[in-house]
Amino acid sequence: MKTKLVILLVLAITISMAGNAYAHKSEVVGDYKIEAGWKNEPPVAGIDNAIEVVVSQATDFEKSQSDSEEHHHTHDDESMDMEHGDTHDGDTHDGESMTHDEMDDDHKETSTEHDHESGEKISGLSDSLNVWVTIGDHKTKVSLVESSEFPGVYYGDYLPIKTGHPIVDVHGMIETTDIDVQMHPEEVEPLSTLAPLKQMKNGIDPEDVMCKDGLDLFMRIGDNSAMCISSKFSETLMNSGMIDYF
């Protein structure tokens, strides 16, 4: 019995850690690696947040990995062209070519065999980079400010007003390198994703708290805070004087 409890606890911790995983996206441009994502994850509609941009020197491994990915994309495009009639008779190489799955597996093995550290962060780019965030049909430019604690890390305050999949465009110049990348960080989730207490800590008034589907909003008697309760228990709690309607 104790063994089962330990296993369940480990699984719960693992799932929790997975939910808080670093979800930034990155692109290698020339000698630089550009990363973009949310400062606070998960991003929630109606809660203040910021876009985080990290600029560093790309390592040789990151450059080669980027070149390999571009090669795969080019190879896939060529394969699609051949499937649409651009084939060449007698131009096959039996026993010499690898399948896409085999190449992917080989690439994964190479990646897991190395533990490469990120390159040196690059500071002083607040005025050199322009960042736009698009969610649906709403596009907003954010102003970057470099972190005083972590040089090379930049933040742009942003309030997501709606849910959806964001697009982050980063443009500008680093030395003589033209930066023009587009990334897709973590999806903006509805306010009901947060528990009532966390919503209130983020400045949401108790009567404006959003509950998950299947739960209704009630006021806790005593401190007038918000509670989300299923109809199965709400009547009992109301009769006992513990909750009431707003």
Confirm whether 151 is domain-assigned. yes
What's this model's pTM, rounded to 2 decimal places?
A: 0.68
| Pairwise CA distance, residues 128 & 143, whole Å | 11
| Pairwise CA distance, residues 226 & 153, whole Å | 37
The model's confidence at residue 1, banded by pLDDT at 50, 70 and 90, is low
Confirm whether 91 is domain-assigned. no
pLDDT score for 170: 98
pLDDT score for 115: 40
User: Which residues does 226 contact at the CB level (< 8 Å), separation at least 6?
Assistant: 196, 199, 200, 206, 207, 209, 217, 218, 219, 220, 246
Give the tens place of pLDDT for each residue, 115-152.
445 689 999 999 999 999 999 999 999 999 999 999 99
Are 31 and 65 in a shared domain?
Answer: yes
Give the tens place of pLDDT for each residue, 46-102.
999 999 999 999 999 999 888 777 656 555 555 555 555 554 444 444 444 444 444
Are 123 and 239 in a shared domain?
Answer: no
pLDDT at 153 over 80: yes
Confirm whether 99 is domain-assigned. no
Confirm whether 37 is domain-assigned. yes
Are 150 and 122 in a shared domain?
Answer: yes
Q: Residue 34: which domain range? A: 20-83+115-189
Token pair of 102 as six digits:
């085999």
Confirm whether 158 is domain-assigned. yes
CATH classification at residue 42: 2.60.40.1930
Strand-pair partners of 246: none
Confirm whether 211 is domain-assigned. yes
Number of domains in the chain: 2
Strand order in the sheet with 226-229: 226-229, 216-220, 243-244
Are 146 and 228 in a shared domain?
Answer: no
Give the tens place of pLDDT for each residue, 3-42.
444 344 434 434 443 434 457 899 999 999 999 999 999 9
